[in-house]
Structure 1
Amino acid sequence: LREHDEASPNLPGVSAVIKRPRAATVRFLNADGHIEDRDLVGLWATSMQHQIDHLNGRMYFDNLSKMKRDMLLRRARKLK
């Protein structure tokens, strides 16, 4: 696993350290409609997992414990 600070423009001013797998393999359709597989490592893997979470209706803070998520959301509300 790799720990990395993640944030989102949906919650400006707050971030959290999230643990995600250090590497990931993704399969997608390229611009020509052909299937491609890509092995990603480090920040590329983290970023892809973060974006796939969005496609699945999840935010980075959904990976936190309830206590840490609640603290982060309280901080975000105070910054509004």
Structure 2
Amino acid sequence: MAIREIISIPDKRLRRVSEPVEKITSEVRALAEDMFETMYDAPGIGLAAIQVAVPLRLITMDLAKKEGESAPRVFINPEILSKSEDIAVYEEGCLSIPEYYEEVERPASVRVRFMDLEGEVHEEDAEGLFATCIQHEIDHLNGVLFIDYLSKLKRDRVMKKFTKAAKLAAK
């Protein structure tokens, strides 16, 4: 297992649409392990493979509530089958947009289909934080960031800040 570098905006790879996982191989399993290690180290509750510069439709997530507990989950080729009309507002953050948080409106619940590391296909209803997190991570797989849900003014301000920081870091 290894901690991988998390890419951050303005890296254009974050806008890439990720490819489906065709077969669960030892490389895919190793990627999931690395993603968990990277996510826990960051620390975060969800990570899409594209955030570690791998354009595959794979998500790791751990929404354990209590310190010292874990509930690691892997979602391969996840897709949202349906969304509720009810809206929920959560303050979201992103490991690819460090230390920036903003309230985002999303459907309060979704039905999602995904495959696990054993190749089993599941359908599950997600509500609350799980619904928000799975939508956020699936957005990553589609090249969408949570800041895309903000006003143009806020989005432009964030992009300007991170673009400037990236230029300074490159010097």
Answer whether TM exceeds 0.5 for this pair.
Answer: yes
Secondary structure of 1:13 counterpart: strand
Larger relative contact order (C-alpha < 8 A, sep ≥ 6)? Answer: 1
5 Å-filtered alignment, 1:7-26, equals 7-26=93-112
> Is the contact between residue 13 and residue 76 of structure 1 (CA under 8 Å) also seen in structure 2?
no
Secondary structure of 1:58 counterpart: coil
Q: 2:131 corresponds to which residue?
A: 45
Give the CA deviation at 1:74. Answer: 4.1
Confirm whether residue 59 of structure 1 aligns to residue 133 of structure 2. no
5 Å-filtered alignment, 1:23-38, equals 23-38=109-124
Distance in 1 of aligned mates of 2:160 and 2:99: 12
Q: 2:15 corresponds to which residue?
A: none
Distance in 2 of aligned mates of 1:13 and 1:27: 31
Give the CA deviation at 1:30. Answer: 2.3
> What's the C-alpha RMSD, in Å, of the aligned pairs?
1.7
Confirm whether residue 68 of structure 1 aligns to residue 161 of structure 2. no
**How does the TM-score come out when normalised to structure 1?**
0.84
Alpha carbons of 1:16 and 1:75: their partners in 2 closer, same or farther (altered >3 Å)? Answer: farther
Alpha carbons of 1:75 and 1:17: their partners in 2 closer, same or farther (altered >3 Å)? Answer: farther
Distance in 1 of aligned mates of 2:130 and 2:124: 11
- State how many pairs are aligned: 79
Structure 1 unaligned runs (5+)?
Answer: none
> Is the contact between residue 14 and residue 75 of structure 1 (CA under 8 Å) also seen in structure 2?
no
Distance in 2 of aligned mates of 1:16 and 1:7: 7
Structure 2 unaligned runs (5+)?
Answer: 1-86, 166-171
Give 1 or 2 for the bigger CA radius of gyration: 2
